[in-house]
Amino acid sequence: MPPKKKARVSKRAERSGDDGEKGKSSTAKRKAAVPAKKTETSSEFVPYSRWLMKSEPESRFENGIDVKFGIEDLKALPDQTSCWDGVRNYQARNFMRQMKEGQLALFYHSNCKEPGIAGVIKIVKEAYVDHTQFDKKDVHYDASSKPDNPKWSMVDVQYQRMMKRFIPLSELKGYHTQHLSEGGPLKQAALFTRARLSVQPLTAEEFDFILSLEDKEPQ
C-alpha cells in the first residue's frame, strides 16, 4: 500500500491536539468542517460526493525526500492505486474522512509550472490510519501523534483517466471571476475561496462544470 508520496501539507501540526471531530471544545476549530450544503426543499444534509485533491507533479525535495507525485506517477503504480498519505491539515483530513468508496475526485497539479486539473481518480478505500505519521523517516512524521490515538488519516485512490485536455487554473479562475459577477457554478468553488486546502469538496455542479470544459475550447 504505501508508495512514497505526495500531498504536501504542513509537516508539524504538532499539538493542537484537536481532532477536529470531537468538535466540541477548544481551539483549532476555527473553521472546522464546512457543513455540507442543504437542499432547497428540505433540511436534510446532502453530504459531499465529489472532491478535488492536490498533489505536486514536479520534483521538490523536503528533508532530502522528493515529494513529487503527479497523476502519471499514480497511473504507473500497480493497480494504478495509491494511498493518499501525508495530509497534515485538519480540514483536509476531515474531508477525507467523509469520502466514500466509489466517489470521484479531480486530481489537481499544484506548485508547478502549470497548475490545474489533470485527471479523474476514484476513492477505492475509505479513511484509515496514515502510517507515515509514526515513521520518523517520513517527511510527514508527526511526533505528537500516538499509535493508540492516531491523528491523521488517509484514503486510497485509483487512477481513472486523464482529462481530455488539461484544464489550467488560469482558465478556471477566469470562469470563477465571471461567475462571481454573472452567476455560475464556479462562483463559490473552494479552489478559490479556500485556496490552500489540499483536499476539498466539490458540489455536483462544480464537478460537472469542470468536466464540461474538456469539450470546450480553452479560454
Positions touching DNA (CB under 7 A) are 8-16, 27-28, 30-31, 54, 88-91, 110-112, 115, 169-170, 173, 194-198
For the bound state, the minimum distance from the C-beta of residue 196 to DNA, rounded and expressed in Å, comes to: 4
Rama region for 145: left / alpha / beta (φ>0; ψ in -120 to 50; rest): beta
Rounded to a whole number of angstroms, the minimum distance from the CB of residue 171 to DNA is 10
10 Å CB burial of residue 98 (0-12, 13-18, 19+) is: middle
CB of 78 to DNA, least distance (A): 26
CB of 40 to DNA, least distance (A): 28
Distance of CA 104 to the CA centre of its chain: 11
Burial of 20 (0-12, 13-18, 19+ CB in 10 A): middle
CB of 198 to DNA, least distance (A): 4
| Shortest spacing between CB 43 and DNA, in angstroms | 27
